């Protein structure tokens, strides 16, 4: 062997190896992509649930903090209200004694409730009787008019009034708490309450490392915050999205808690929850920076990234190993499938891997055998369909009964039909026009022939012979023939009208007869027809000749079988060629609908 031949062999080997290398890379990439996709999807799911779990857990903590703080603040106000209530026992004393008793009670209240900065009693006429203050001179019977003060006017009506938060002398926030006294001509006790205590409650709330809380009043004004400078500046938070949403939600009922991602006063993203203090109309907010809230999520993301990277590396290595193992049997399968696709249905694919690839090769081999059998079957059916109706051709091919189409005798119902005046039409019309009419004609007939499963005897120009009850037996062959003829007349009636518009004077007639006939193959070895012969065939043909356009003529035997489903009228007695006696006929005028429905049902 010379060097040139060695070189050619080497080139041939190189060409055979290159496709395998590309296939290895494709499989390796595919396996890597699948594994990586699954890992990424798994990581995304873990991140999603970690996010939801972290958010839910933190919101739960914030909820507890907010509700607890709201409860403490509400309890604080109620305790102040209770303390003030103890100063109202003087209502039942004489005016002079009551004035002295109230002064003592008010001083006692200052010792027990340091948050009360000032307290006054206004009589039923709206005149101030006594004022005791921590930061001003006490006044007795000043006579100051409170009739237009909401603390007096509203408390006198409803019994209690809590004023909006206000800032005393521009510094700390306060509220006024007014209570109506008991008894006749009851007056109103008005206390000024310092809300500095609420700062202490809010300052004690810690969520995580940097989570904080704040309180706004019913107007969205900041009244408590860890940064007191924000409170002293009378910061208005009524336009913050979380405050707007909470104020709207709090109108729907008592204390409700919701959580959302929002922006704080510094423009930072936070996870925020709130609780409403229904009796005061205030809202307590607890917030945690997202950077802190989602630390577990970031840790989970890092773990997922490490796992995904490790999985991708392992998938690449595994993909290369698996791809190399499946390249050769896949190449054999590819080569074998190409040969089968080229028509070599007897080709055998030889793969011995002991796994699914070998099973696949075996299934391909079985498929080629079935394809060969199916191809033979299709060829036989296609050939027979040129001479038989489709269902007859299928039955002949699939039947194991070798006598199916042998000559035999059986009772059948024969139907003949053809076009009226077609001979005159075809002699004067253009050949293309005549063929177009025949095409429309046989397309219309073919629909009903297939629908009623008739066996086609033969075509002859515009004439057609078909029969029922052979080779496929059917008990209602006469009824089926009549129903098919009626359906054909309906379809042909439409075509006749269309042809008339084009100037063609054509019609359609049908003849039907029932009786015994001889059936079987007629023809040569190379070309034959499966048909019927006998007097019943001749009778059907003669009746068709006598039928006018749009008529269906049936014999007495057909009427005897179908009188429950067909309406008829006498069609006349005819002397027909080949029949020694006159033949009585019936003209079909319609089908009995109730009988048809019962039969179809």
Checking if the pLDDT of 51 tops 60, the result is yes
Q: For 390-400, what is each residue's pLDDT tens digit? A: 666 666 666 65
* Predicted pLDDT of residue 9: 46
* Predicted pLDDT of residue 514: 97
* Predicted pLDDT of residue 257: 44
* Predicted pLDDT of residue 466: 94
Do 559 and 591 have their domain in common? yes
* Predicted pLDDT of residue 12: 43
Copy the structure tokens of residue 454.
């008739």
- 287 phi and psi angles, rounded to 5 deg: -135, 150
Using pLDDT thresholds of 50, 70 and 90, give the confidence band for residue 481. Answer: very high
Using pLDDT thresholds of 50, 70 and 90, give the confidence band for residue 91. Answer: low
Q: For 197-226, what is each residue's pLDDT tens digit? A: 777 777 777 766 777 888 888 888 888 887
Do 427 and 566 have their domain in common? yes
Using pLDDT thresholds of 50, 70 and 90, give the confidence band for residue 534. Answer: very high
* Predicted pLDDT of residue 237: 87
Do 412 and 379 have their domain in common? no
For tokens 């007897």, the residue is 346
Do 456 and 364 have their domain in common? no
* Predicted pLDDT of residue 569: 95
Do 486 and 507 have their domain in common? yes
**Three-state DSSP class for 265?**
coil
Q: Domain for residue 401, yes or no?
A: yes
In DSSP terms, which residues pair with 192 in a beta bridge? 118, 176
Using pLDDT thresholds of 50, 70 and 90, give the confidence band for residue 195. Answer: confident
Q: For 328-343, what is each residue's pLDDT tens digit? A: 677 777 777 777 777 7
Q: Which of 395, 384, 407, 490 is nearest to 445 (CA)?
A: 490
Helix residue ranges, H only, 386-511 = 390-398, 422-428, 431-451, 477-501
Do 367 and 483 have their domain in common? no
Using pLDDT thresholds of 50, 70 and 90, give the confidence band for residue 526. Answer: low
Checking if the pLDDT of 380 tops 80, the result is no
Q: Domain for residue 297, yes or no?
A: no
Using pLDDT thresholds of 50, 70 and 90, give the confidence band for residue 263. Answer: confident
- 436 phi and psi angles, rounded to 5 deg: -65, -40
Checking if the pLDDT of 159 tops 90, the result is no
Q: Domain for residue 414, yes or no?
A: yes
CA 418: distance to chain centroid? 55
Q: Which of 165, 201, 195, 197 is nearest to 66 (CA)?
A: 201
Copy the structure tokens of residue 342.
């080229």
* Predicted pLDDT of residue 599: 61
Do 457 and 516 have their domain in common? yes
* Predicted pLDDT of residue 14: 45
Q: Domain for residue 497, yes or no?
A: yes
Residue 347 belongs to domain spanning = 343-385
Do 379 and 397 have their domain in common? no
Checking if the pLDDT of 361 tops 80, the result is no
Checking if the pLDDT of 29 tops 50, the result is yes
Q: Domain for residue 273, yes or no?
A: no
Q: For 284-307, what is each residue's pLDDT tens digit? A: 888 888 777 777 667 777 777 787
Do 462 and 352 have their domain in common? no
**Which residues, other chains included, contact 218 with Cβ-Cβ below 8 Å and sequence gap of 6+?**
164, 247, 280, 281, 282
How many domains would you assign to the chain?
2
Using pLDDT thresholds of 50, 70 and 90, give the confidence band for residue 48. Answer: confident
For tokens 């910061």, the residue is 235
Mean pLDDT computed over 136-143: 85
Q: Kindly report the number of other CB atoms within 10 A of residue 462's CB atom.
A: 21
* Predicted pLDDT of residue 415: 97
Q: Domain for residue 1, yes or no?
A: no
Q: For 556-599, what is each residue's pLDDT tens digit? A: 999 999 999 999 999 999 999 989 999 999 999 999 876 566 56
* Predicted pLDDT of residue 55: 72
Helix axes 295-341 and 3-85, enclosed angle (nearest 10) = 150
Q: Domain for residue 142, yes or no?
A: no
Q: How much is the mean pLDDT over the chain?
A: 81
Mean pLDDT computed over 517-522: 87
CA angle, 19 then 25 then 29, to 5°: 145
Cα separation of 527 and 67, whole Å? 98
Q: For 307-330, what is each residue's pLDDT tens digit? A: 777 877 887 777 777 777 767 677
Higher pLDDT, 265 or 352: 352
Cα separation of 168 and 475, whole Å? 108
Do 378 and 498 have their domain in common? no
Q: Which of 54-63, 86-95, 556-565 has the highest mean pLDDT?
A: 556-565
Q: Domain for residue 587, yes or no?
A: yes
Q: Which of 130, 118, 103, 131 is nearest to 169 (CA)?
A: 118
Copy the structure tokens of residue 555.
């014999």
Do 461 and 548 have their domain in common? yes
Checking if the pLDDT of 15 tops 50, the result is no
Checking if the pLDDT of 3 tops 50, the result is no
* Predicted pLDDT of residue 447: 92
Do 440 and 574 have their domain in common? yes
Checking if the pLDDT of 175 tops 80, the result is yes
In DSSP terms, which residues pair with 574 in a beta bridge? 583
Residue that terminates a domain, selected from 334, 361, 385 = 385
> The domain that contains 485 carries what CATH number?
3.30.70.1230
Cα separation of 521 and 504, whole Å? 38
Cα separation of 106 and 98, whole Å? 12
């Amino acid at each position: 062997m010379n060097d040139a031949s060695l070189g050619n062999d080497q080139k041939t080997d190189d060409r055979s190896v290159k496709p395998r290398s590309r296939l290895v890379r494709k499989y390796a990439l595919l396996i890597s992509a699948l594994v990586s996709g699954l890992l990424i999807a798994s990581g995304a799911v873990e991140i999603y649930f970690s996010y939801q779990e972290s958010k839910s857990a933190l919101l739960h903590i914030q909820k507890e903090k907010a509700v607890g703080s709201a409860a403490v603040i509400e309890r604080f106000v109620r305790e102040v209200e209770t303390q003030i209530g103890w100063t109202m026992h003087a209502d039942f004393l004489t005016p002079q004694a009551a004035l002295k008793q109230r002064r003592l009670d008010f001083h006692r209240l200052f010792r027990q409730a340091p948050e009360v900065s000032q307290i006054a009693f206004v009589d039923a006429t709206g005149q101030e009787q006594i004022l005791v203050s921590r930061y001003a001179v006490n006044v007795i019977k000043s006579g100051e008019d409170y009739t237009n003060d909401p603390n007096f006017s509203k408390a006198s009506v409803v019994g209690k009034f809590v004023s909006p938060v206000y800032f005393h002398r521009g510094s700390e926030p306060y509220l006024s708490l007014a209570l109506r006294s008991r008894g006749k001509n009851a007056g109103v006790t008005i206390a000024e309450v310092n809300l500095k205590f609420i700062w202490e409650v809010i300052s004690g709330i810690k969520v995580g490392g940097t989570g904080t809380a704040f309180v706004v009043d019913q107007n969205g004004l900041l009244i408590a915050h860890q940064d007191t400078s924000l409170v002293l500046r009378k910061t208005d938070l009524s336009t913050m999205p979380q405050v707007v949403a909470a104020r709207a939600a709090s109108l729907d009922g008592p204390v409700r808690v919701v959580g959302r991602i929002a922006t704080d006063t510094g423009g930072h993203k936070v996870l925020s929850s709130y609780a409403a203090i229904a009796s005061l109309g205030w809202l307590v907010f607890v917030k945690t920076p997202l950077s802190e809230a989602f630390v577990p999520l970031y840790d989970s993301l890092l773990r997922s990234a490490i796992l995904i990277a490790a999985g991708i590396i392992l998938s690449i290595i595994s993909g290369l190993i698996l791809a190399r193992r499946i390249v050769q049997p896949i190449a054999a399968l590819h080569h074998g499938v190409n040969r089968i696709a080229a028509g070599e249905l007897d080709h055998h694919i030889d793969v011995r891997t002991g796994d699914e690839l070998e099973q696949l090769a075996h299934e391909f081999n079985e498929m080629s055998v079935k394809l060969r059998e199916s191809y033979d079957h299709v060829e036989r059916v296609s050939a027979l369909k040129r001479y038989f109706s489709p269902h007859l051709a299928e039955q002949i091919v699939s039947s194991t009964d070798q006598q199916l189409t042998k000559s035999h005798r059986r009772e059948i119902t024969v139907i003949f039909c053809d076009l009226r005046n077609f001979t005159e039409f075809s002699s004067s019309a253009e050949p293309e026009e005549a063929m177009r009419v025949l095409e429309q004609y046989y397309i219309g007939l073919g629909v009903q022939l297939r629908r009623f499963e008739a066996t086609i005897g033969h075509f002859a120009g515009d004439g057609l012979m078909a029969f029922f009850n052979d080779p496929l037996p059917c008990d209602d062959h006469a009824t089926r023939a009549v129903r098919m003829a009626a359906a054909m007349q309906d379809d042909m009636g439409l075509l006749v009208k269309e042809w008339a518009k084009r100037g063609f004077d054509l019609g359609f007639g049908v003849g039907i007869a029932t009786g015994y006939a001889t059936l079987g193959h007629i023809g040569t070895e190379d070309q034959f027809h499966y048909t019927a012969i006998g007097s019943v065939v001749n009778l059907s043909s003669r009746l068709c000749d006598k039928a006018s356009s749009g008529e269906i003529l049936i014999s007495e035997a057909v009427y005897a079988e179908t009188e429950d489903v067909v309406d008829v009228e006498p069609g006349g007695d005819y002397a027909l060629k080949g029949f020694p006696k006159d033949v009585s006929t019936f003209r079909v005028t319609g089908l009995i609908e109730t009988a048809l429905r019962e039969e179809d049902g």
